[in-house]
Amino acid sequence: MSMESIPVIDFAQFGDGTSPESQAISKQFYEACRDVGFAYLTNTGIPQESVDNMFNWSARLFGLPLEVKNQATQPPQGGMQLGYHGVGVEQVSQMIFDAEELASIRKGKLLDFKESFEIVDETSSARRGLKNIWPPEEILPGFREFELDYCQACRVFQMERLLPALSIGMGLDKDFFNRHHRNAENKLRLLHYPEGPVEIFESGEKGRIAAHTDFGTGTLLFQDDVGGLEIESPTEPGKFIPAIPIRGAAIFNIGDLLMRWSNDSLKSTAHRVRAPLMKADGDGIVPERFSIPYFMNPDASTMIDALPGCWGLDIPKKYAPIDSQDYIKKRRAAFY
């Protein structure tokens, strides 16, 4: 495996995680998380047809008039803003918590030019008193049901293959991470990066998503075929390499919390989305892009302390234990 490329991990033979094949898959997956922090995953069990349909629904949602989309907004709950966020509401920043500095970034150039719609898993939202907000059912009949089913399909992959593979790969018992992800503290986000004239992207007046790391356990990401996602090279910091769309493959990346939990043995890799200027049409318009990240987090009040096997006499713990929820709240608050 070249360190410069993003590995492809095929989950087809994972089964219930007890066969020799599943051991091999887990090992490859762990190595990808350690060396690159990103992997393409195939045979996740989420049918390609569902992925395509989710993208279709997303296009229909974002195609609605702004007044309608704005009906699906609500004040933040517990530091979380669910529902629709118009262009420019969220500005991704990296580890900046100072209010003045954040304000100056917002006034500046390179605003993330995107709109999004976010939901939480309804079982966990019920548990924690969070409520999803939806566009009126009569305007997009079936949208709510489909999106919740899609969220559930991601959840099944997370619990039946992804977390078990990670546990096994790290030499932990198969259910280790499952035990810390019982409440499905996950969010499914539909993202739309509008089209725009090549100049606004070229001049830096507008961007798609600035370089950042994700902050939870990890992210399962579906992208359309437009391209523009780039990840920081594992071997040359500061250099970004394209994560080209591969049909039939989802992308997985490690988040900061899991990096910390693993005492930095797993890598939370910076990534960004650039507008693909070379795809501009005859009128100089760069095409719109859609993506669908599913962000995974540990259960609230999980103590994030270096995992067994990631520290010892020769490898000291790098971080003090921290409560997962405190950490995530702090990171999220800097985004709005």
Residues at the interface with ligand AKG (CB under 6 A): 191, 209, 214, 221, 223, 229, 271, 273, 291, 293
Closest alpha carbon to 6 in 311, 247, 245, 314: 245
Instruction: State which residue, 14 or 193, has the beta carbon closest to ligand AKG.
Output: 193
Instruction: State which residue, 164 or 234, has the beta carbon closest to ligand AKG.
Output: 234
Instruction: State which residue, 160 or 214, has the beta carbon closest to Fe ion.
Output: 214
Instruction: State which residue, 209 or 306, has the beta carbon closest to Fe ion.
Output: 209
Coil, strand or helix: which one is 111? Answer: strand
Note the residue count of the chain.
Answer: 336
**What is the tally of helices (H) and strands (E) in the chain?**
11, 18
Which does residue 184 bind out of ligand AKG, Fe ion, none, counting CB within 5 to 8 angstroms by kind? none
Which does residue 291 bind out of ligand AKG, Fe ion, none, counting CB within 5 to 8 angstroms by kind? ligand AKG
Least distance (Å) between residue 6 CB and ligand AKG: 13
d(CA 158, CA 258): 15
Distances in whole angstroms, Cα of residue 65 to Cα of each of 70, 143, 165, 205, 213: 9, 16, 43, 24, 32
Which does residue 191 bind out of ligand AKG, Fe ion, none, counting CB within 5 to 8 angstroms by kind? ligand AKG
Instruction: State which residue, 119 or 307, has the beta carbon closest to ligand AKG.
Output: 119
Least distance (Å) between residue 291 CB and ligand AKG: 3
Instruction: State which residue, 147 or 214, has the beta carbon closest to ligand AKG.
Output: 214
Residues that bind Fe ion (CB under 5 A): 214
Comparing every residue's Cβ against ligand AKG, the nearest one is 291
110: which 2 tokens?
């390179």
Which does residue 253 bind out of Fe ion, ligand AKG, none, counting CB within 5 to 8 angstroms by kind? none
Q: For every residue of 42-76, which 3-state class applies, written as one string?
A: ECCCCCHHHHHHHHHHHHHHHCCCHHHHHHHECCC
Least distance (Å) between residue 208 CB and ligand AKG: 7
Asked if residues 269 and 254 have their Cβ atoms less than 8 Å apart, the reply is yes
Comparing every residue's Cβ against Fe ion, the nearest one is 214
Burial of 291 (0-12, 13-18, 19+ CB in 10 A): buried
Least distance (Å) between residue 243 CB and Fe ion: 11
Coil, strand or helix: which one is 116? Answer: strand
Which does residue 223 bind out of Fe ion, ligand AKG, none, counting CB within 5 to 8 angstroms by kind? ligand AKG
d(CA 34, CA 254): 9
Least distance (Å) between residue 292 CB and Fe ion: 12
Helices (H), the chain: 20-35, 48-62, 66-69, 99-107, 122-128, 143-157, 163-169, 176-179, 198-202, 256-261, 324-333
Which does residue 44 bind out of ligand AKG, Fe ion, none, counting CB within 5 to 8 angstroms by kind? none
Least distance (Å) between residue 282 CB and Fe ion: 32
Instruction: State which residue, 147 or 214, has the beta carbon closest to Fe ion.
Output: 214
Least distance (Å) between residue 192 CB and ligand AKG: 9
Coil, strand or helix: which one is 83? Answer: strand
Least distance (Å) between residue 213 CB and ligand AKG: 9
d(CA 44, CA 14): 10
Instruction: State which residue, 9 or 209, has the beta carbon closest to ligand AKG.
Output: 209
Residues 6+ apart with CB under 8 A from 103: none
